[in-house]
Amino acid sequence: MPDTIVVNNEPFDVYISQEQIRRRVKELAAQIDRDYAGKVPIFIGILNGSFIFIGDLVREVTVDCEIDFMKLSSYGDAKISSGQVQMVKELNCQVSGREILVVEDIVDTGLSVDYIRRHILAEKPASLRFVSLLLKKGIPKIDFSIDYVGFEIPPEFVIGYGLDYGQKLRNLKAVYRQRPSA
Ligand code: IMP
Protein backbone atom coordinates (compact mmCIF):
# COMPACT_ATOMS: atom_id res chain seq x y z
CA MET A 1 0.00 0.00 0.00
CA PRO A 2 1.50 3.38 -0.91
CA ASP A 3 1.87 5.85 1.95
CA THR A 4 0.65 8.68 -0.24
CA ILE A 5 -1.66 8.83 -3.23
CA VAL A 6 -2.49 11.81 -5.41
CA VAL A 7 -6.05 12.39 -6.56
CA ASN A 8 -6.93 15.40 -8.74
CA ASN A 9 -3.51 16.84 -7.81
CA GLU A 10 -4.43 16.59 -4.11
CA PRO A 11 -2.19 14.40 -1.92
CA PHE A 12 -3.72 11.97 0.57
CA ASP A 13 -1.59 10.25 3.24
CA VAL A 14 -2.21 6.96 5.03
CA TYR A 15 -4.05 7.81 8.22
CA ILE A 16 -5.24 4.46 9.56
CA SER A 17 -3.29 1.47 8.25
CA GLN A 18 -4.66 -1.89 7.19
CA GLU A 19 -3.14 -3.45 10.28
CA GLN A 20 -4.66 -0.88 12.65
CA ILE A 21 -8.07 -1.41 11.04
CA ARG A 22 -7.74 -5.19 11.23
CA ARG A 23 -6.89 -5.06 14.94
CA ARG A 24 -9.69 -2.64 15.79
CA VAL A 25 -12.28 -4.61 13.81
CA LYS A 26 -11.36 -7.72 15.84
CA GLU A 27 -11.78 -5.75 19.10
CA LEU A 28 -15.18 -4.42 18.03
CA ALA A 29 -16.30 -7.91 17.02
CA ALA A 30 -15.21 -9.32 20.40
CA GLN A 31 -17.20 -6.60 22.18
CA ILE A 32 -20.27 -7.32 20.02
CA ASP A 33 -19.89 -11.06 20.69
CA ARG A 34 -19.95 -10.38 24.42
CA ASP A 35 -22.89 -7.98 24.24
CA TYR A 36 -25.01 -10.20 22.00
CA ALA A 37 -24.22 -13.63 23.47
CA GLY A 38 -27.29 -15.84 23.08
CA LYS A 39 -29.00 -13.35 20.75
CA VAL A 40 -29.32 -13.24 16.98
CA PRO A 41 -28.73 -9.65 15.88
CA ILE A 42 -29.39 -8.30 12.40
CA PHE A 43 -26.45 -6.29 11.06
CA ILE A 44 -27.69 -3.57 8.75
CA GLY A 45 -24.98 -2.19 6.49
CA ILE A 46 -25.49 1.28 5.09
CA LEU A 47 -24.51 1.30 1.44
CA ASN A 48 -22.30 2.11 -0.23
CA GLY A 49 -19.65 3.17 2.28
CA SER A 50 -19.94 0.36 4.82
CA PHE A 51 -19.63 -2.60 2.44
CA ILE A 52 -16.00 -3.40 3.26
CA PHE A 53 -16.26 -2.72 6.99
CA ILE A 54 -19.38 -4.85 7.46
CA GLY A 55 -17.77 -7.65 5.43
CA ASP A 56 -14.73 -7.68 7.70
CA LEU A 57 -16.73 -7.16 10.90
CA VAL A 58 -19.24 -9.97 10.44
CA ARG A 59 -16.45 -12.40 9.59
CA GLU A 60 -14.89 -11.70 13.00
CA VAL A 61 -18.19 -11.99 14.87
CA THR A 62 -19.08 -15.48 16.10
CA VAL A 63 -22.65 -14.99 17.38
CA ASP A 64 -25.40 -16.15 15.04
CA CYS A 65 -26.44 -13.16 12.97
CA GLU A 66 -28.34 -12.01 9.91
CA ILE A 67 -27.24 -9.32 7.47
CA ASP A 68 -29.22 -6.82 5.43
CA PHE A 69 -28.53 -3.51 3.72
CA MET A 70 -30.10 -0.10 3.34
CA LYS A 71 -28.92 2.50 0.91
CA LEU A 72 -29.10 6.20 1.55
CA SER A 73 -27.82 9.07 -0.47
CA SER A 74 -26.66 12.24 1.20
CA TYR A 75 -23.31 12.99 -0.37
CA GLY A 76 -23.23 14.06 -4.01
CA ASP A 77 -20.08 13.39 -5.94
CA ALA A 78 -17.91 15.81 -4.02
CA LYS A 79 -16.58 16.23 -0.52
CA ILE A 80 -19.43 18.22 0.95
CA SER A 81 -22.65 16.67 2.22
CA SER A 82 -25.77 17.82 0.41
CA GLY A 83 -27.45 18.02 3.84
CA GLN A 84 -30.40 15.95 2.66
CA VAL A 85 -30.80 12.25 3.27
CA GLN A 86 -32.84 10.09 0.92
CA MET A 87 -33.66 6.38 1.09
CA VAL A 88 -32.50 4.69 -2.10
CA LYS A 89 -32.90 1.04 -1.01
CA GLU A 90 -35.21 -0.16 1.76
CA LEU A 91 -34.54 -3.06 4.13
CA ASN A 92 -35.82 -6.50 3.19
CA CYS A 93 -35.87 -7.90 6.73
CA GLN A 94 -38.50 -7.65 9.46
CA VAL A 95 -37.12 -5.34 12.13
CA SER A 96 -39.94 -5.66 14.63
CA GLY A 97 -38.85 -7.39 17.85
CA ARG A 98 -35.26 -7.93 16.62
CA GLU A 99 -31.87 -6.79 17.89
CA ILE A 100 -30.61 -4.35 15.28
CA LEU A 101 -27.01 -3.22 14.76
CA VAL A 102 -26.59 -0.55 12.12
CA VAL A 103 -23.13 -0.52 10.53
CA GLU A 104 -21.83 2.78 9.14
CA ASP A 105 -18.49 3.68 7.61
CA ILE A 106 -18.33 7.16 9.11
CA VAL A 107 -20.50 9.55 11.11
CA ASP A 108 -19.90 13.10 9.97
CA THR A 109 -22.79 15.52 10.46
CA GLY A 110 -24.88 12.71 11.95
CA LEU A 111 -27.77 13.38 9.57
CA SER A 112 -27.68 9.85 8.15
CA VAL A 113 -27.66 8.02 11.49
CA ASP A 114 -30.39 10.30 12.77
CA TYR A 115 -32.56 9.49 9.75
CA ILE A 116 -31.82 5.74 10.07
CA ARG A 117 -32.61 5.76 13.78
CA ARG A 118 -36.00 7.35 13.30
CA HIS A 119 -36.78 5.04 10.39
CA ILE A 120 -35.86 1.86 12.26
CA LEU A 121 -37.41 2.83 15.62
CA ALA A 122 -40.74 3.28 13.83
CA GLU A 123 -40.63 -0.49 13.12
CA LYS A 124 -40.28 -1.28 16.86
CA PRO A 125 -37.06 -3.32 17.12
CA ALA A 126 -36.21 -5.03 20.44
CA SER A 127 -33.02 -2.92 20.48
CA LEU A 128 -31.10 -0.63 18.19
CA ARG A 129 -27.38 0.12 18.31
CA PHE A 130 -24.90 1.77 15.97
CA VAL A 131 -21.42 0.70 14.90
CA SER A 132 -19.25 3.10 12.95
CA LEU A 133 -15.69 2.57 11.82
CA LEU A 134 -15.03 6.30 12.02
CA LEU A 135 -16.57 9.15 13.99
CA LYS A 136 -15.69 12.75 13.20
CA LYS A 137 -15.23 14.61 16.46
CA GLY A 138 -17.69 17.32 17.37
CA ILE A 139 -20.71 16.06 15.48
CA PRO A 140 -23.45 18.52 16.27
CA LYS A 141 -26.66 16.97 15.05
CA ILE A 142 -27.39 13.87 17.13
CA ASP A 143 -28.65 13.49 20.68
CA PHE A 144 -27.82 9.78 21.04
CA SER A 145 -24.46 8.01 21.10
CA ILE A 146 -22.74 5.74 18.63
CA ASP A 147 -22.35 2.52 20.62
CA TYR A 148 -19.28 1.05 18.93
CA VAL A 149 -16.70 3.38 17.36
CA GLY A 150 -13.59 2.17 15.56
CA PHE A 151 -11.66 5.44 15.53
CA GLU A 152 -12.49 9.03 16.44
CA ILE A 153 -10.94 11.38 13.91
CA PRO A 154 -10.78 15.14 13.44
CA PRO A 155 -13.38 16.56 11.04
CA GLU A 156 -11.26 16.08 7.92
CA PHE A 157 -11.97 14.44 4.58
CA VAL A 158 -10.89 10.80 4.42
CA ILE A 159 -11.09 8.10 1.76
CA GLY A 160 -10.52 4.37 1.34
CA TYR A 161 -11.75 1.17 3.05
CA GLY A 162 -15.20 1.86 1.60
CA LEU A 163 -15.13 5.66 1.71
CA ASP A 164 -15.17 7.38 -1.65
CA TYR A 165 -14.01 10.50 -3.37
CA GLY A 166 -16.41 11.11 -6.26
CA GLN A 167 -17.44 7.44 -6.06
CA LYS A 168 -13.85 6.28 -6.57
CA LEU A 169 -11.10 4.94 -4.28
CA ARG A 170 -13.42 2.91 -2.06
CA ASN A 171 -11.13 -0.04 -2.77
CA LEU A 172 -8.08 1.42 -1.03
CA LYS A 173 -7.05 -0.97 1.74
CA ALA A 174 -6.24 1.73 4.32
CA VAL A 175 -7.94 4.99 5.30
CA TYR A 176 -6.22 8.04 3.79
CA ARG A 177 -6.53 11.63 4.94
CA GLN A 178 -6.33 14.65 2.70
CA ARG A 179 -3.04 16.46 3.38
CA PRO A 180 -3.75 19.93 4.79
CA SER A 181 -2.68 22.61 2.30
CA ALA A 182 0.57 24.35 3.26
P1 IMP B 1 -23.36 12.25 7.66
O2 IMP B 1 -24.82 12.04 7.32
O3 IMP B 1 -22.92 13.66 7.43
O4 IMP B 1 -22.99 11.74 9.03
O5 IMP B 1 -22.51 11.47 6.60
C6 IMP B 1 -22.68 10.14 6.38
C7 IMP B 1 -22.11 9.68 5.06
O8 IMP B 1 -21.37 10.68 4.36
C9 IMP B 1 -21.14 8.58 5.35
O10 IMP B 1 -21.81 7.34 5.47
C11 IMP B 1 -20.19 8.67 4.15
O12 IMP B 1 -20.70 7.89 3.11
C13 IMP B 1 -20.21 10.14 3.78
N14 IMP B 1 -19.00 10.82 4.33
C15 IMP B 1 -18.93 11.59 5.44
N16 IMP B 1 -17.67 12.03 5.66
C17 IMP B 1 -16.91 11.51 4.65
C18 IMP B 1 -15.50 11.58 4.33
O19 IMP B 1 -14.66 12.20 5.02
N20 IMP B 1 -15.12 10.88 3.21
C21 IMP B 1 -15.99 10.19 2.43
N22 IMP B 1 -17.30 10.09 2.72
C23 IMP B 1 -17.76 10.74 3.81
Task: Supply the pLDDT for residue 80.
Answer: 65
Task: Supply the pLDDT for residue 181.
Answer: 79
Task: Supply the pLDDT for residue 86.
Answer: 87
77 is catalytic: no
Candidates 10, 81, 82, 117: which one to mutate for ligand 1, based on the most atoms within 8 Å of Cβ? 81
C-alpha closest to that of 154 among 177, 172, 181 = 177
In the sheet with 158-159, reading across from the earlier edge strand, the strands are 4-7, 10-16, 175-178, 158-159
- Mean pLDDT, residues 92-121: 95
Say if ligand 1 is within 6 A of residue 75 CB.
yes
Residue 29 confidence class, pLDDT cut points 50, 70, 90 = very high
* DSSP string covering the chain: --SEEEETTEEEEEEE-HHHHHHHHHHHHHHHHHHTTT---EEEEEETTTHHHHHHHHHH--S--EEEEEEEEEE-SSSSEEEEEEEEE---S--TTSEEEEEEEEESSSHHHHHHHHHHHTT--SEEEEEEEEEETT--S-SS--SEEEEEE-S--EEBTTB-BTTB-TT-SSEEEEPPP-
pLDDT tens digits, 111-148: 999 999 999 999 999 999 999 999 999 876 788 999 99
164 pLDDT higher than 80: yes
182 pLDDT higher than 80: no
Task: Supply the pLDDT for residue 2.
Answer: 84
For atom 16 of ligand 1, the residue with the nearest CA is 108
pLDDT tens digits, 40-70: 999 999 999 999 999 999 999 999 999 999 9
C-alpha closest to that of 155 among 177, 124, 130 = 177
76 pLDDT higher than 60: no
Over pLDDT 90: what percentage of the chain?
Answer: 84
Q: How far is ligand 1, taken at its centre, from the CA of residue 181, in Å?
A: 21
Residue with the larger pLDDT of the pair 86 and 80? 86
Q: How far is ligand 1, taken at its centre, from the CA of residue 35, in Å?
A: 27
Task: Supply the pLDDT for residue 1.
Answer: 79
Q: CA distances (Å), 13 to each of 21, 65, 153, in order?
A: 15, 36, 14
User: What is the overall mean pLDDT for the chain?
Assistant: 93
33 pLDDT higher than 70: yes
pLDDT tens digits, 7-21: 989 999 999 999 999
CA distance 57 to 60: 5
Task: Supply the pLDDT for residue 138.
Answer: 83
